Amino acid sequence: MMKKLFKNKMILFGVSFTALLILLTFIIPQVVPLSPLQQDLPARLSSPGAKHIMGTDALGRDVFIRIIYGARISLLVGFVSVTIALLIGVPLGLLAGFHGGWVDNLIMRIVDIMLCFPSIFLILMVITFLEPNIINVMAVIGLTSWPGLTRYVRGEALSVRKRDYISAAKMMNIGRVRILFIHMLPNVIAPVLITATLGIGSAILTESVLSFLGLGVQPPSPSWGNILTSGKNYMGSRAWWLILFPAGAIFLTVLSFNLIGEGLRDHLDPHKKFLKKG
Amino acid sequence: MEKLLEIKNLSANYFAQDIKIPALRSVNIDLKKGETIAIAGESGCGKSTLALAVLKLIEFPEGEVTGDSVEFKIEKNSIDLLRLKEEEMRKIRGKDISLVVQDPYSSLNPVIRINKQLAEIYRIHHQTCEDIDIDGISKKYLKMVHLPEPQKILFSYPHQLSGGMLQRVNIAAALINNPDILISDEPTSSLDVTVQKKIMDMFFELKDNFNLSQIFISHDLNLISAFADRVYIMYAGRVVEEGKTADIFTSPAHPYTIALLEALPHLNAPGLDLKSIPGEVPAPESIGIGCAFAARCSHSRDICFNSLPELKKINDNHFTRCIKR
Amino acid sequence: MFIPLLIGITVISFTVMHLTPGSPVDDFKMNPNIDARARHRFYKLYGLDQPLYIQYAGWFGNVITFDFGRSFKDGRKVLTKILERLPATLLLNLFALGVIFAVAVPAGVLSAVKQNSFTDRFLAVLVFAGYSLPAFALALILMYVFGVKFGWLPISGMVSVNYSYLSFWGKVFDLLKHLVLPVITSAVGGLAFMSRYMRATVLEVMRQDFIKAVRARGVSKKGIITVHIFRNALIPLVTLFGLLIPSLIGGSVVFETIFSWPGMGRLAYGAIMSRDYPVVMGVGVIMALLTLIGNLIADIGYAAVDPRIRYEK
């Protein structure tokens, strides 16, 4: 199974890049003595060179080091907020699909409303009134990104529910909760895994937007979003490296998770292939 | 009489994943001017593929059409449809050779009004003259296929019409350019029985009143016996027997034809048990080199499985592909 | 659908905003000139001393009559503030929608018609990249390249300083120049989404049976694509229109802020930053309203392109 998965070039690239990134976040702090806050004032806003391979920011801090430390935050936000979304979205979706009736109606109505409203606006509102810090960012992204999952799981649960073995289980008087988790969960795991992987990418993206707008990770802590903020502020000084490198980091990371997600979909759900073969 | 269409060794394959599925195998068929021939056989024998193959509507990546030639006489010239380029072939489709497909519900574009669809067929095959009253022409043809209120139908969408009405529209669409050949692929099989009768009446009318040559594809032998001049019996992509309708029905030569006829319910002998053919139609990709019917045939011998029987002549018009003869 | 949606959205945002710590008078606490009495007066004036549901009921009652109250910051009417910003937002998003449709539809059709060809694969890669692209970071890159490095395009605002001195066509040109970068960044996400969807739709229509029947009548491939497939592919396209609206409007908060575009999104960002409740709520309602209008247009469009729906009774 694993071997087959890695034959897929999309998954191979995605997993390799993510693994490399995680590895770097552990190795670099051990090997390079620089801290992300350490200022090299004479070398302020220096362009990429031998001493600072990705240049420095306005306070003379090394951009490469800041990006590596920022990666920790991005990955953390990605995984934690998707976990929150999973913990809310999957049970709600199973409940709606399995219980049906007014429970289903209520849950799906809420989902409709949340999907219809621009979620970034909701996130922005909530985060402003909370303290902007990493914990709240993860919570808010998690709390606003479950509706898509719920809708998906509900649909799958509905179709699974109609299949025979669930009614067989019902007839044998197995408890509802047991049916829900033992019998239905395995069937919805594959699509949920795909959606979750894609969700990590979009959570990372949202975190970087929030931090960029000053509503996420607060300076001086490094994050890809707030490096970009300094890039915007020092655009007049032509500090392109403050834009290109964090932008590239976000792009490649999000791309990796999307590649893994779509690659998994090719394997687990061949009907919805990204590049359908005729 | 002059041969209008002469199909020589026509084959067609469909591509699925990495395998070729042969749906039509070296078929020889000819159609004379003013004649109506029927192609008969169970579903999956390649009848519908034949219709598509003649019009070269099977192409990569779906499949391919191969063969020696499909000679078509048009205004004293003879052209080989197999060698025609797509653009020239396109000019023949719907103009010289028309096709009426089986399912009337999926033969018209669901989101375009009937008048626009008929006008399109007329316009693509005529030099465009802006002043021409295309709706008037369309109306004439809708009347010809006995549609009531042609004006109303002209401005309808397909979903507003019944299956029988749609099939009449399809026939009108097939006739609008006065074709030489009309191919109809099970034109009545997806309709209600009462509607079937009316549509068939119309086919009889077309046969009598037009100088049309028809290829009538059907699994309904009763219908064929009343309608066709000659019959081709197909099995697993091959023609196994051909002959004048009377010959086929009175003295069938191929065991498959005999079995088919025995499976036919007779109105004048009700209560008689129907015979069914043992076994099932083989999947096209699993047919060996021999006679495809051998496995279901009570007369089969070893040789039937090992080599393909020659086409044997019974009389000038009657041929069969069986060693028994 | 409209009313429960509106209530749902406003209840959620209202509750979220009032339950979260921090209040508009926080700023006053720092100000030694404002004593407790003044703070209390302020509370009373805006009904902030009432229970939450009373506040909501009062506010909602006013909203129905299009009275969103006054801004905490400058005391101007919220509706006036929003209405003067709305055209800029609409302009930006309509252009973005236009670009999305103008590029994604041909791209989607092309890759479906030339399925699995080099073009198809190339476009698929682009689409994939578009999905993963952080549009706000792309905005910065474009600003840097076209604004700072080469100085070809303006990077902030909607018009130049000398706008009022320009001729009519000069004004149009100036506006268009300011539109280029914000429109591109707003469109990128939707573009990828749309062209992928379009490709799938066209492939689906191509597999329908009637296409073969139409070909059998001698219609050329070009005619089939431009008339028959396109007409049928339009139907799901219209649904997408409804889906694109919320993401475009949500995006405008970010992109208008980046490009200092004087629209509703930037107003919302400013209001969020200064906890100007009435303005935030007002923008929220207008955003919901725009989303719903988008959906309504999609429904009407649906009926326009699909006769099967139009004649259903």
In a domain, residue C30? The reply is yes
Query: pLDDT category, A273, cuts 50, 70, 90?
Result: very low
pLDDT digits (tens, 9 = 90+) for B92-113: 998 999 999 888 888 899 889 9
User: CA-to-CA distance for C222 and C228, rounded, in angstroms?
Assistant: 10
Do residues C111 and A207 make contact, with C-beta atoms less than 8 angstroms apart? no
pLDDT surpasses 50 at A276: no
Q: Tokens representing A264?
A: 């998994």
Asked if C204 is an interface residue toward chain B (Cβ–Cβ < 8 A), one would say: no
| Closest CA–CA distance from residue C231 to any residue of chain B (Å) | 7
Of B3, B23, B25, the C-alpha closest to B15 is B23
For residue C292, the enclosing domain spans 85-305
Mean pLDDT of B221-242: 91
User: CA-to-CA distance for B110 and B117, rounded, in angstroms?
Assistant: 10
Other CB atoms within 10 Å distance of the CB of residue B261: 17
pLDDT surpasses 70 at B291: yes
State chain B's maximal CA–CA distance in angstroms. 69
User: Which pLDDT belongs to residue A278?
Assistant: 30
Both C41 and C147 in one domain: the answer is no
In a domain, residue C230? The reply is yes
pLDDT surpasses 80 at A67: yes
In a domain, residue C151? The reply is yes
What does pLDDT average to over chain B?
87
Domains, chain B, with CATH or none: 3-104+183-228 (3.40.50.300)
Domains, chain A, with CATH or none: 55-277 (1.10.3720.10)
Give the residues of chain C that fall short of pLDDT 50.
Answer: 313
User: Which pLDDT belongs to residue B43?
Assistant: 81
Both C43 and C172 in one domain: the answer is no
pLDDT digits (tens, 9 = 90+) for C202-236: 988 888 889 989 999 989 888 888 889 988 888 88
Both C54 and C148 in one domain: the answer is no
| Closest CA–CA distance from residue B99 to any residue of chain C (Å) | 6
Closest chain C residue to the Cα of A240, Cα to Cα: C144
pLDDT digits (tens, 9 = 90+) for B113-155: 999 999 999 888 887 666 788 888 899 889 888 888 889 999 9
User: CA-to-CA distance for A127 and A66, rounded, in angstroms?
Assistant: 24
* A56-to-A31, A199, A242, B85, C137 alpha-carbon distances in Å: 19, 32, 8, 65, 18
User: Which pLDDT belongs to residue A210?
Assistant: 92
* A68-to-A32, A35, A224, A245 alpha-carbon distances in Å: 11, 11, 9, 11
Q: What is the ipTM of this complex?
A: 0.85
What residues of B are in contact with residue C235 (Cβ under 8 Å)?
Answer: 111
Of A184, A115, A165, the C-alpha closest to A144 is A115
A276/C131: higher pLDDT: C131
Helical ranges in B125-190 per DSSP H: 134-144, 150-154, 163-175
SS (H, E, C) C100-151: HHHHHHHHHHHHHHCCCCHHHHHHHHHHHHHHHCCHHHHHHHHHHHHHHHCC
Q: Tokens representing A249?
A: 């980091």
Q: With an 8 Å Cβ cutoff, are A113 and C9 in contact?
A: yes
Query: pLDDT category, A3, cuts 50, 70, 90?
Result: low
Do residues B293 and B42 make contact, with C-beta atoms less than 8 angstroms apart? no
Both C100 and C162 in one domain: the answer is yes
Both C132 and C276 in one domain: the answer is yes
Name the 3-class secondary structure at A203.
Answer: helix
Both C126 and C187 in one domain: the answer is yes
In a domain, residue C57? The reply is yes
Closest chain C residue to the Cα of B51, Cα to Cα: C216
DSSP letter assigned to residue B186: S
User: Which pLDDT belongs to residue B146?
Assistant: 87
Query: pLDDT category, A245, cuts 50, 70, 90?
Result: very high
pLDDT surpasses 70 at A171: no
Number of structural domains (chain C) is: 2
User: CA-to-CA distance for C248 and C255, rounded, in angstroms?
Assistant: 10
Q: Which of C32, C63, C94 is the last residue of a domain?
A: C63
Closest chain A residue to the Cα of C137, Cα to Cα: A247
What residues of C are in contact with residue B57 (Cβ under 8 Å)?
Answer: 212, 215-216
C15/A241: higher pLDDT: A241
B244's enclosing H/E stretch is strand B238-244
Label residue C38 left, alpha or beta by phi (over 0 means left) and psi (-120 to 50 means alpha): alpha
Asked if A120 is an interface residue toward chain C (Cβ–Cβ < 8 A), one would say: yes
Out of A28-37, A205-214, B117-126, which region has the weakest mean confidence (pLDDT)? A28-37
User: Which pLDDT belongs to residue A254?
Assistant: 94
Of C177, C281, C108, C312, the C-alpha closest to A276 is C108
Strand B36-40 relative to strand B230-235, pairing: parallel
A269/B10: higher pLDDT: B10
Both C36 and C99 in one domain: the answer is no
> What are chain A's partners, defined as 3 or more CB pairs within 8 angstroms?
C
Out of A177-186, B131-140, B249-258, which region has the weakest mean confidence (pLDDT)? A177-186
pLDDT digits (tens, 9 = 90+) for B28-61: 999 998 899 999 988 888 888 999 999 999 888 7
Query: pLDDT category, A69, cuts 50, 70, 90?
Result: very high
Which phi and psi angles does A243 have, rounded to 5°? -105, -50
Name the 3-class secondary structure at C299.
Answer: helix
User: Which pLDDT belongs to residue C309?
Assistant: 74
Q: Tokens representing C87?
A: 């055209």
Q: How many CB pairs under 8 A join B and C?
A: 84
Residues 124-183 of C with CB under 8 A from B: none
User: Which pLDDT belongs to residue C65?
Assistant: 76
